[in-house]
Amino acid sequence: MNELVFVMPEDGSDVASPDMKWLRDMVLHGGADFWCGGSGQGWLTHPGGSDLILHFADRHGFYLEYHDAETGYWIPLSETGSDSGAPVWVGGDPIIVSQRFFVSPDAAWTAVEEFCKTGQRAGRVPWVRRSEVQWSFGYWDHPELELNR
């Protein structure tokens, strides 16, 4: 692979060399209508071999996962966010993650823009190795509550 590829959340189709204006608009304004359909996640694959996975939750923003073969998995970490759980969709199933792992759409765009240019994590986003966080990810177990997709 020698070009950036974006995998669409709704159907898993690949968009080679996505238009950056369109991608920016989807990150900043796509909301749940775009990000939470189908598999519930979109991702970017850089020609250098790294990936940036994007999950979205209304009222929380984006949960990002960065991965490369050399350094492993990284997620954003906010020291000020709540440790309460929030659902994101993975393969169409709701998974609960801490609200501390979410960033605003503006911060997500910063991460996406840097990733598209360099294949690296954005220095302006606070990242931590996913293996170093002390939080239990789990499945949504509240069938009586409606989840916003």
* Distance (Å, whole) CA 76 – CA 51: 14
**Residue 149, in any domain of the structure:** no
124: its two tokens: 């302006």
**Residue 107, in any domain of the structure:** yes
* Cα 132 off chain centre by: 18
* Residue ranges making up the domain that contains 45: 5-139
Does residue 117 contact residue 59 with C-beta atoms inside 8 Å?
no
Does residue 148 contact residue 60 with C-beta atoms inside 8 Å?
no
pLDDT digits (tens, 9 = 90+) for 76-107: 998 777 778 888 888 777 888 889 999 999 99
**Residue 125, in any domain of the structure:** yes
Mean pLDDT across the stretch 128-144?
Answer: 69
**Residue 116, in any domain of the structure:** yes
The full length of the chain comes to 149
pLDDT digits (tens, 9 = 90+) for 33-48: 999 888 889 999 999 9
Instruction: Name the pTM for this structure.
Output: 0.88
Query: What's the number of domains the chain is made of?
Result: 1
**Residue 39, in any domain of the structure:** yes
Residue 147 has pLDDT above 60, yes or no: no
